[in-house]
């Protein structure tokens, strides 16, 4: 700021104009960006939440549909009579051809042996220990996503990753409801990935959207990043989906980035209860708010362009009144150097003429009042006899001294001083001699204190010293009191007479004893009276518990 004020007015006006325009551009960028960002965040959040809900609904509907298909197929007469396995194989292979999602279908007898299957894969194998048989013979069974242990080499994945299935199994019964076997179907999990890629590819503000399907135990079953599949996810949005909540929030994912995350539960469809999957749809906050960032950038660029244009105009326009002001400033500098006695009358615009006339009149009056004000200030803050400060000076000094002590974590020593038996000097030698003694006492007190301390005469022979003390304030204030007493004990020569005099001192400390000046002075005054009561020519340090003092004879 100081360097800015040292340049010319034209430069200041041009810079101020540029800063104003840039400031307005930054303010507009912030306000518009904040408002637009909030609106866009809300819009995208609702969008990703809708996508999550649609994906969850599509998963449940698909599972409900294929579960129904398996249930209907299991009722066919061909699957109730195990004598014609050729017919069973024909129907199964035709079904695989028409509905490719049925990667493998097998008919198991009551012992768990495969009697008919897609492409005769695992034909004759006993899979009685597999969940499709163990649970399928009891009732309708829908198994969660899993890798194919027995079919991995039979159905290699195009991506090289292990193929995954969702199992559907139902019991096959005779007309007497006796268990004949199990109808088992493995649905390729690839259908869910196809739904993710095609149905929710992301358009408009929903570009770069990632969709995840999460198992009940938190395992990622489906995701855009195959490296994440199989990992366990734990974020707040997933917790919301598990509570059957639908919505969106900004969540921090394991990669450390923040995403707008929509969530919805896959909680079944009609009589299909679902597998307690959760669907999460995420979009990077930076990607979502990219339009807002671009808008902010454009506003700032235009702000910089306009700042250059308007500052140039301001530079040109300022020249019309800068000239007279420059001449006026040079004249004032010449007056300060003593080269001019009177400010010349400078002409220019109407406001310049008024300013020039008023400055000339003002400078004349200020010159006249300067000396008078200095003298008035000296009289107002000093004692006319001794030249020491007075009560007004003490009040002003206290305000600054206490603030300085607080900043420096130091203490102030307040010493209340009173000459012992001073009245006898006035009575014996006269008031003129007494005044000489007071002036000499003032000179000696000044020699005892440091430059930043204050010596004040309150009236008569009563004086106050306020001194900054560091470290042990009690010890330093006592040292100062002892130095003063030694200095005052030196004889005084007044009116041709040799006069000896002594002094009593009361001491209080800020902030140890009090924090307000009035209280400190009162405590120092109490300590002064205690010093006089103990025989004079000594000091007493104020204490809340008692008065700890000393005198000249005990010090000797």
- Tens of each residue's pLDDT in the chain, 556 residues: 555 445 666 677 777 777 777 777 777 767 776 676 677 778 878 888 888 898 888 888 888 988 888 888 888 888 877 878 888 888 888 888 888 888 889 999 989 999 998 888 888 899 899 888 999 988 889 888 877 666 766 666 655 566 788 889 999 988 787 888 999 998 888 778 777 776 655 454 455 788 899 998 888 888 877 778 888 999 999 999 999 999 999 899 988 888 889 999 998 888 888 888 899 998 888 777 777 767 777 777 877 787 778 777 776 766 666 667 777 777 777 777 777 767 777 776 676 777 777 777 777 676 666 555 555 556 667 787 888 888 888 888 888 989 999 888 889 999 999 988 788 777 788 888 888 888 888 888 888 988 888 899 888 888 899 999 888 888 899 999 999 998 888 888 776 678 788 889 999 999 889 989 999 999 999 999 999 888 888 999 998 445 554 544 333 2
Question: How many whole angstroms from its chain centre is CA 325?
Answer: 46
Nearest C-alpha neighbor of 7 from the set 318, 288, 267, 471: 318
CA-CA distance, 225 to 206, in Å (whole number)? 18
Helices 190-199 and 9-73: crossing angle in degrees, nearest 10, is 140
Cβ-based neighbour number of residue 452 at 10 Å: 11
**Which residue ranges make up each domain of the chain?**
1-323, 324-368, 382-555
Helical H segments across 190-289, by residue range: 190-199, 236-242, 285-288
Is CATH 3.30.70.270 the classification given to domain 382-555?
yes
Q: Which two tokens stand for residue 437?
A: 């003694």
Structure tokens at 88: 């069973």
Burial profile 225-260: b = 16 or more Cβ within 10 angstroms, e = fewer: eeebbeeebebebbebbeeeebbbeebebeeeeebb
Q: How does DSSP assign 452-480, residue by residue?
A: T-EEEEEETTEEEEEEEE-SSHHHHHHHH
Question: Which residues, 6 or more positions from 359, have their beta carbon under 8 angstroms from its beta carbon?
Answer: 328, 332, 343
Extract long-range pairs of 221-225: CB within 8 Å, 24+ residues apart.
221/145, 221/189, 221/192, 221/277, 222/189, 222/192, 222/193, 222/196, 224/196
The total number of residues written for the chain in this structure: 556
| CA-based torsion, 8, 13, 18, 23: positive or negative | positive
Q: In the annotation, is 271 catalytic?
A: no
Q: Residue 474 and residue 477: Cα distance in Å, rounded? A: 5
**Annotated catalytic residue within 383, 420, 453, 461:** 461
Return all residues near 509 (Cβ < 8 A) that are at least 6 apart.
Answer: 411, 412, 413, 414, 469, 473, 474, 477, 541, 542
Residue 556's pLDDT is: 29
Domain 1-323 top-level CATH class: alpha beta
The Cα–Cα gap between 391 and 454 comes to 11
How deeply is 451 buried, as exposed, middle or buried, from its count of CB atoms within 10 A (0-12, 13-18, 19+)? exposed
CA 321 to chain centre: 46
CB neighbourhood size of 104 (10 A): 24
Q: What is the pLDDT of residue 264?
A: 93
Contact at 8 Å (CB) between 60 and 73? no
């Amino acid at each position: 700021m100081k360097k800015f004020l040292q340049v010319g007015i034209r430069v200041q006006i041009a810079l101020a104009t540029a800063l104003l325009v840039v400031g307005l551009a930054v303010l507009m960028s912030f306000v518009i960006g904040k408002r637009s960002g909030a609106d866009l965040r809300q819009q995208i959040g609702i969008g990703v939440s809708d996508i999550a809900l649609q994906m969850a609904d599509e998963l449940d509907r698909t599972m409900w549909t294929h579960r129904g298909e398996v249930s209907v197929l299991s009722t066919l007469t061909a699957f109730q009579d195990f004598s014609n396995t050729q017919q069973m194989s024909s129907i199964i292979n035709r079904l695989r051809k028409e509905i490719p999602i049925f990667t493998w279908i097998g008919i198991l007898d009551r012992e768990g042996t495969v009697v008919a299957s897609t492409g005769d894969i695992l034909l004759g194998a006993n899979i009685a220990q597999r969940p499709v048989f163990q649970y399928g013979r009891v009732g309708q069974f829908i198994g969660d996503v899993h890798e194919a242990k027995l079919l991995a080499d039979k159905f290699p994945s195009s991506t090289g990753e292990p193929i995954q299935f969702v199992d559907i199994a139902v019991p096959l019964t005779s007309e007497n409801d006796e268990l004949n076997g199990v109808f088992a179907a493995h649905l390729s999990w690839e259908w869910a990935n196809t739904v993710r890629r095609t149905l929710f590819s992301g358009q408009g503000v929903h570009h770069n959207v990632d969709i995840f399907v999460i198992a009940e135990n938190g395992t990622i079953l489906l995701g855009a990043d195959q490296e994440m599949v199989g990992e366990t996810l734990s974020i707040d949005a997933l917790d919301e989906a598990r509570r059957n909540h639908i919505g969106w929030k900004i969540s921090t994912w394991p990669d450390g980035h923040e995403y707008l995350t929509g969530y919805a539960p896959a909680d079944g469809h009609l009589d299909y209860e679902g597998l307690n999957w959760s669907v999460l749809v995420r979009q990077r906050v930076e990607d979502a708010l990219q339009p807002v960032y671009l808008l902010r950038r454009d506003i700032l660029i235009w702000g910089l362009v306009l700042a250059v244009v308007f500052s140039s105009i301001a530079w040109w326009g300022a020249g019309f009144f800068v000239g007279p002001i420059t001449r006026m400033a040079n004249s004032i500098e010449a007056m300060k150097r003593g080269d001019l006695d009177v400010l010349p009358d400078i002409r220019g615009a109407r406001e310049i003429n008024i300013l020039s006339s008023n400055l000339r009149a003002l400078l004349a009056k200020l010159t006249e009042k300067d000396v008078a004000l200095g003298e008035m200030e000296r009289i107002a803050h000093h004692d006319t006899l001794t030249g020491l400060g007075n009560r007004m000076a003490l009040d002003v000094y206290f305000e600054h001294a206490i603030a300085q002590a607080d900043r420096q974590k130091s203490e102030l020593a307040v010493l209340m001083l009173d000459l012992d038996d001073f009245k006898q000097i006035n009575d014996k030698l006269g008031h003129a001699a007494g005044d000489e003694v007071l002036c000499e006492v003032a000179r000696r007190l000044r020699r005892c204190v440091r430059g930043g301390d204050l010596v004040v005469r309150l009236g008569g022979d009563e004086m106050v010293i306020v001194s900054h003390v560091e470290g042990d304030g009690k010890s330093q204030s006592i040292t100062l009191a002892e130095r003063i007493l030694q200095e005052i004990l030196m004889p005084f020569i007044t009116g041709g007479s040799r006069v000896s005099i002594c002094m009593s001192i009361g001491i209080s400390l800020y902030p140890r004893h009090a924090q307000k000046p009035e209280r400190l002075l009162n405590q120092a005054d109490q300590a002064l009276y205690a010093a006089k009561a103990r025989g004079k020519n000594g000091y007493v340090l104020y204490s809340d518990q008692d008065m700890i003092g000393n005198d000249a004879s005990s010090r000797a």
